[in-house]
């Protein structure tokens, strides 16, 4: 066994598909698998935005279409299904119909195509958005346990389709069609993630706003800023995905940190990383999601003997540095934003 408990450092000869390989987590997943010696196919509706893919084979395909899912899953042993129509709270609350329809088509087609093409393992990326709203109505929430998903009351649109896809994976696994593994992501962030345009999540949006404002300036914060979340660095996410894929645990697992922070405090932490003094202007008219959401990692530790290791300050330092550098290389866009 290697030091990280994942067996040999090189999984020579393994062939994997990363669906959603043009997106944030999928792009990092491809790089992770390549370092382990995999032959990797990446598939997405678009090429990676910020740097070239390291995939051996990259196909631009719309995975809402059945025939494209069959093409994508051909001749691979492992399928990492990260493809999704998603974004930050503003996007997923304003596009319920599109998000639900698109993701149900992707997930149903990908699962069955992987089964028909003889894949040996299948990973599905679910979300903490599946957890009931009635368990997330206070900022000082305890960690959400996997069994807390039922009785169901997930977020509209995105949460409901994620929960439905979890059940599809369960049925395929129970009926011997395809071994499936499921992780519920808790707010993944890091370099190479979307930071503008409306689909960005809180760490990236806040990093962009602070990078663009002068020291002592003011930024807009959605909601009252007292809503709380836990955040997971992307390197921990992709390692967790791989560990879950190779575990014997077929039921969904939380993949996140259990360190809760308020959004106003998150702004202060990014400002500290940036070396700036920042004033906050809270906008109560903007979407802010549930009042509190945190991961309970008890089962993750029991199953894997591992949990995410990157501190929020370290992760934000890398994230802010990357976003700030991106903006510095686009002076015309920065000028237009001010």
The phi and psi torsions of 322 (rounded to 5 degrees) equal -70, -45
Three-state DSSP class for 260?
Answer: coil
From the list 280, 245, 278, 8, the residue with the least C-alpha distance to 121 is 245
Distances 229 to 257, 260, 279 between C-alpha atoms, Å: 10, 5, 21
Which pLDDT score is estimated for 8? 46
202-229+260-295+311-329 belongs to CATH 3.90.25.10: yes
228-238 residue pLDDT tens:
999 999 999 99
The pLDDT, as a whole number, for residue 89 is 82
d(CA 132, CA 134) in angstroms, rounded, equals: 5
Six-digit token pair at 3? 């030091």
Q: Place 2 in a pLDDT band, splitting at 50, 70 and 90.
A: very low
Tell the residue number behind the tokens 């025939």, with chain if given. Answer: 67
Question: Which sequence spans correspond to the domains of the chain?
Answer: 15-189+231-255, 202-229+260-295+311-329
Checking if the pLDDT of 7 tops 60, the result is no
Average pLDDT, rounded, for the chain: 93
Nearest to 109 by CA among 75, 160, 79, 70: 70
Q: Residue 142 has what DSSP assignment?
A: P
Q: Which residues pair with 188 in a beta bridge?
A: 232
- Kindly report which listed range (26-40, 284-298, 312-326) carries the lowest average pLDDT score: 284-298
* Residue from 158, 195, 233, 320 carrying the catalytic annotation: 158
Distance, CA of 262 to CA of 225 (rounded, Å): 7
15-189+231-255: CATH homologous superfamily?
Answer: NAD(P)-binding Rossmann-like Domain (3.40.50.720)
Which residues, listed in sequence order, are joined to residue 80 by a DSSP beta bridge? 18, 123
CB 270, CB 313: distance < 8 Å = no
Domains 15-189+231-255 and 202-229+260-295+311-329 share a fold: no
Q: What residues contact residue 261 under an 8 Å CB cut-off, 6+ apart?
A: 228, 229, 230, 231, 269, 312
Question: Is 158 known to be catalytic?
Answer: yes
In this predicted structure, what is the pLDDT of residue 335?
47
Closest CA to 27 of 41, 45, 48: 48
Phi, psi of 96 (to 5 degrees): -60, -45
> What count of Cα atoms within 13 Å lies in the side-chain half-sphere of residue 320?
24
H/E element holding 4?
Answer: none
pLDDT in tens, 136-147: 999 998 899 999
Q: What is the pLDDT of residues 283-307, one digit of tens each?
A: 999 888 899 999 999 999 999 999 9
> Distance (Å, rounded) from C-alpha 261 to C-alpha 265?
6
Output the pLDDT for position 331.
Answer: 64
Residue 191 burial class via C-beta count within 10 angstroms: exposed 0-12, middle 13-18, buried 19 and up: buried
Closest CA relative to residue 137, chosen from 151, 155, 125, 124:
155
Question: What single string gives the DSSP state of each residue in 29-49?
Answer: HHHHHHHTT-EEEEEESS--S
Q: Is the pTM of this model over 0.85?
A: yes
**Is residue 111 within 8 Å of 172, Cβ to Cβ?**
yes
The answer, yes or no, to whether residue 3 has pLDDT greater than 50, is no
Torsion over CA: 144, 145, 146, 149 (sign): negative
Average pLDDT over residues 166-194: 97
Query: Which residues partner with 221 through β-bridges?
Result: 282
């Amino acid at each position: 066994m290697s030091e990280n408990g994942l067996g040999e450092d090189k999984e020579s000869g393994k062939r994997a598909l990363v669906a959603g390989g043009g997106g944030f987590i999928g792009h990092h997943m491809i790089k992770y698998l390549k370092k382990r010696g995999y032959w990797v196919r990446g598939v997405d509706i678009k090429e990676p935005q910020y740097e070239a893919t390291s995939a051996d084979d990259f196909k631009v395909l719309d995975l809402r279409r059945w025939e494209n899912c069959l093409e994508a899953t051909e001749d691979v042993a492992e399928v990492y299904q990260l493809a999704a129509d998603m974004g930050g709270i503003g996007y997923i609350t304003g596009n319920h119909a599109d998000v639900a329809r698109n993701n149900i088509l992707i997930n149903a087609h990908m699962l069955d195509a992987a089964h028909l093409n003889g894949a040996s393992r299948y990973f599905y990326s679910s979300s903490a958005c599946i957890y009931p709203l009635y368990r997330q109505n206070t900022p000082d929430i305890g960690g959400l346990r996997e069994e807390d998903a039922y009785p169901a009351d997930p977020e509209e649109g995105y949460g409901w389709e994620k929960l439905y896809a979890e059940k599809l994976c369960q049925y395929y696994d129970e009926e011997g069609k395809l071994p499936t593994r499921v992780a519920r992501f808790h707010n993944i962030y890091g370099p190479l993630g979307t930071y503008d345009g409306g689909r960005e999540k809180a760490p990236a949006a806040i990093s962009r706003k602070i990078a663009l404002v002068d020291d002592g300036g003011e930024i807009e914060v959605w909601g009252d800023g007292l809503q709380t979340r836990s955040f997971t660095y992307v390197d921990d996410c992709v390692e967790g995905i791989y560990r879950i894929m190779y575990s014997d645990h077929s039921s969904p697992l939380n993949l996140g940190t259990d360190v809760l922070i308020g959004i106003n405090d998150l702004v202060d932490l990014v400002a500290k990383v940036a070396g700036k003094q920042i004033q906050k202007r809270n906008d109560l008219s903007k979407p802010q999601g549930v009042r509190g959401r945190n991961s309970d990692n008890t089962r993750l530790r029991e199953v894997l003997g591992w949990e995410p290791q990157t501190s929020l300050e370290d992760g934000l330092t890398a994230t802010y540095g990357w976003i700030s550098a991106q903006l510095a290389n686009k002076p015309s866009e920065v000028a237009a934003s001010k």
